[in-house]
Amino acid sequence: MILDKFIDTLNAEKGYSVHTCRAYRSDIFDFIQFVVARQDAKDNIAEKLFWEKMNTLDKTVIRNYLARLVKSGKKKRTIARKLSALKAFFDYLVKSGQIRVNPAETIPFPKLEKTIPQFLSIDDIVRLLDSIEIKTWFDRRNLAMFETFYSTGMRVSEMEGLNIEDIDFKSQMIKVFGKGSKERVVPVGKRALNAIKEYRASLKENFIPVFLNKNFTRISSRSIRRLLDKIVRDCQLNVPVSPHTLRHSFATHMLDCGADLRGIQEILGHASLSTTQIYTHVSMDRLMQVYDKAHPRS
């Protein structure tokens, strides 16, 4: 299938993660089923019917597809993601000589509203982390994992892929492989490092993955989320918390305490500074302190 070949290039040439490739495939196949008007059509049949209609495919068809997404109640961010997948797919077809022009090229993305990320207060972070018991190696793993989340602002996929040789305990740095297999080095605090040492000391072997499941293989992102859900329930925070919430909390608290925005960008692994700027919702107290100190007529 041409769709499979496209997905292979995303992985091999652009270094997209398995999760991103899966999302792209799902989004594009949803469009294919729309074009052939057969939601029950399987891969090979759907693609065959799709190619038969390729000569009639233009931006009007794509606009009709996007209109259906709007009508079905899809969020603007979801629609933008699906359009991005289509643009990339048709661009691949043009470059590989399958079609002459990209019918999605001139279609604008929906204007997205800027959302302020959800984050926990410092008190809530302390409450969450201090609630984790350290009776078993499972407990020690959980404490080490979530201390590291808050200490580094890593993504859950980055935490899942972390290997023991990526951690430099002496220089207090961690090598992280982020989106698109991009490598960066981030600082990590002593509290998190000590938690990792205590957890690893409770294991009988020196396993390569840092964080393990009950079968002593690499813990999955899904399991990490499930563990965090349980910890949040047990300490009765009564607010939705995900691994990304810890990442947002890390960035927000760093900025509130005076960290440089570009430094946060490097640590988080953002390609663009504009992505990091969503964290500039500093506390009003700090903003007033800066104003009082800097303004000549305050």
Catalytic residue selected from 87, 247, 248, 253: 247
Tokens (6 digits) for 251:
């960035």
For residue 16, which amino acid is it? Y
Residue whose pair of structure tokens reads 């020196």 in the numeric block: 206
Active site residue 247: yes
Instruction: Enter the DSSP assignment of 132.
Output: -
Provide the edge-to-edge strand list for the sheet that holds 183-187. Answer: 167-168, 173-177, 183-187
Which of 74, 81, 179, 225 is flagged as catalytic? Answer: 179
Q: What are the phi and psi torsion angles at 168 (to 5°)?
A: -105, 100
**115 vs 284: CA distance, rounded Å:** 18
CA distance 241 to 119: 8
- Which residues are CB-contacts of 55 (< 8 A; sequence separation ≥ 6)? none
25 carries an active-site annotation: no
Task: Give the whole-angstrom CA distance, residue 297 versus residue 278.
Answer: 29
Q: Is 262 a catalytic residue?
A: no
User: Does the annotation mark 222 as catalytic?
Assistant: no
DSSP E strand boundaries for the chain: 167-168, 173-177, 183-187
Dihedral of CA atoms 188, 191, 196, 198 in degrees, nearest 10, equals 160
Our answer to whether residue 24 is catalytic in this structure is no
Task: Name the residue among 99, 109, 203, 187 with its Cα closest to residue 150.
Answer: 187
C-alpha–C-alpha distance, residues 226 and 106, integer Å: 41
244 in catalytic set: yes
Residues with a catalytic annotation lie at 155, 179, 244, 247, 270, 279
